[in-house]
Amino acid sequence: MDDKLNPDQIFNKTMGFICMKALVHIGALVISIIAMKILSAVFGGSIGIIGALIWIIITVGVAFGLDFFVGYKFKAGHVAVVTDAVSAGMIPDDMNAMAKESVTYRFPSCNEYLAYSMAVKGAMAQLQKKLNTFAERKMNKPVLGQLISFAQIFIGMSLSFSYDLVLFYTFFRDGKPLYTSAAEGVAIYYYCWKRIIENVMFLAIEVIAIMAIVFFVFFAFGAPIFTTAFANDALAGGLCAAGVAYFVCNTVKVFLDSRFMIRALFPFFEEARYAEITDEEYQIACRDSAKYDKLYRKAMSEPQSAPAPMQQDQGGY
């Protein structure tokens, strides 16, 4: 259909959710800098190894806490809205209300989202290693093989790409039990990964290049600035510069990941809406990943009925 939304339109129309996800990382960055300033004062100008370890623990804890207990609402809400855009061909009039309703329906609490996220990401991480080995073995053309390797490196660096595809499937198949849809989504990705990678290969390489440049620039220019700011404490300055570079990279990556995810959803959706995974294929995935086997068994233990789905139009184009 001529009036269907393309990836760039969806990206632009859902920019509000992307910006909110980015603000979570900016908030973590601000707290990290404040923590370093406080530790510098407590340790008398030179934080030392103990102060550095305390700062790292605080920074990691804050980043994890904000991401899972605040950021998940924006992340899942964004994927829910994009699900409608890709499957039904339209953006809901009230995106915020639709996102809140969809996320609450699927994940009544952050603990349920956390459990779902850990189960899916664990299975995806193991299966991705298997795919990496398979790709290296099958690629005979040197140039194509290198491009596939770079794309696989990106996916290995951040499971958010493949995880978002599974989350998309969970919202798309909202009439199915939570872990049943998760197990199906992971299996679909596992068996159609090549087509997805081929569609986003060059974008993955672009993302890696941009991330490397951003980190280097912010670390190189930030280290001397923060060293001066922290009374010439090179350790504090270097750590703070690395922290800033990391959080800036994560903030930039939110926008790049969102663009990447939306682009990948189109080929994934074409596979997902008609896919029928056989028992044999499920067993192969279970054999290849102990964590997927655990996810699959959890899915099989769910009551195979769910409340009436919220989405009415899931027919696609």
Q: Is residue 39 part of a domain?
A: yes
pLDDT higher than threshold 80 for residue 4:
no
Q: What are the phi and psi torsion angles at 310 (to 5°)?
A: -80, -35
Structural domain contains residue 310? no
Does residue 245 register a pLDDT over 50? yes
Residue 74 lies in a domain: yes
Confidence band, pLDDT 50/70/90 cuts, at residue 45: low
Question: Does a structural domain hold residue 314?
Answer: no
262-297, pLDDT tens digit by residue? 888 888 888 888 888 889 989 999 999 999 999 999
Domain count, the chain: 1
Question: CB-side exposure of 313: number of CA atoms within 13 Å?
Answer: 11
Q: Which domain holds residue 163?
A: 7-301
pTM attached to this predicted model: 0.79
The answer as to whether 279 is a domain residue is: yes
Q: Determine the longest span between alpha carbons in the chain, in angstroms.
A: 66
In-domain check, residue 105? yes
